[in-house]
Homo-oligomer: A and B are copies of this chain.
């Protein structure tokens, strides 16, 4: 019956989206463990709101797949397994090339500029061993690719996939990714952006696919995923 340590309450802007983002963040960071029960009243008290907005937040998280709930049955943090994580990568592997191709046809100079800025920031964060920032920038790149595609369906789908991939990869182990793998991927991302600048959808898509291939091929990355689930399976 022990509930998790009530870390001090967050921003507490009283709108639902803030609750969703905060709770999703805690799930992704593992502060809410897979399988853990999330009682509405307890969470509501934790965030200083009533059950109504908290219910809406939990429903939203359920539709994103981060929690599961059954009628009168309670809400629980969803569980991930290694297979689901790889399935997630498979989905990413088809969405990202599509986004790259569409972005190559539609992106603006501002988009390209932002891509290059993010790439530089990412390089710096990785070189300076700031894994949190490295992950953040990686997420921003992914989000920006979706935005540049101009495909609203893709934007929504890629956002959820991105959150789940962050969930599936524990932050502590990102540092273990071999430097050569990371550099190869960074180079491929630059190739992708160059192809987008040349308005070459095919080349952009190929580069995007190569990024995923490099991720798959990376023994380091695989270890990141596997280790994540060893940790998770310890606390069911």
Contact = CB atoms under 8 A, between A and B. Distances in A.
Interface in A38-73: 52, 55-56, 59-60, 63-65, 71
A120 interface: no
Contact of A56 (B59, B98, B160): B59
A164 to B, nearest CB: 7
Contacts of A219: none
Contacts of A88: 153
Given A102-B90, A157-B157, A15 B71 contact: yes
A87 interface: yes
A151 interface: yes
A231 interface: no
A104 interface: no
A94 B92 CA distance: 10
Q: How large is the interface on A (under 10, 10 to 19, 20 to 34, 35 or more residues)?
A: 20 to 34
A55 to B, nearest CB: 7
Interface string A121-150: 000000000000000000000000000001
A135 to B, nearest CB: 20
The residue in A56, A87, A97 that gathers the most chain B C-beta atoms within 10 A of its C-beta is A87
A24 to B, nearest CB: 13
Contacts of A15: 71
A50 to B, nearest CB: 12
Nearest to A154: B91
Contacts of A52: 52
A125 to B, nearest CB: 28
Contact of A87 (B64, B153, B160): B153
Contacts of A95: 91, 94
A9 interface: no
13 contacts: A52-B52, A63-B63, A65-B152, A84-B153, A87-B102, A87-B151, A87-B152, A88-B153, A90-B102, A90-B151, A93-B98, A94-B97, A157-B157
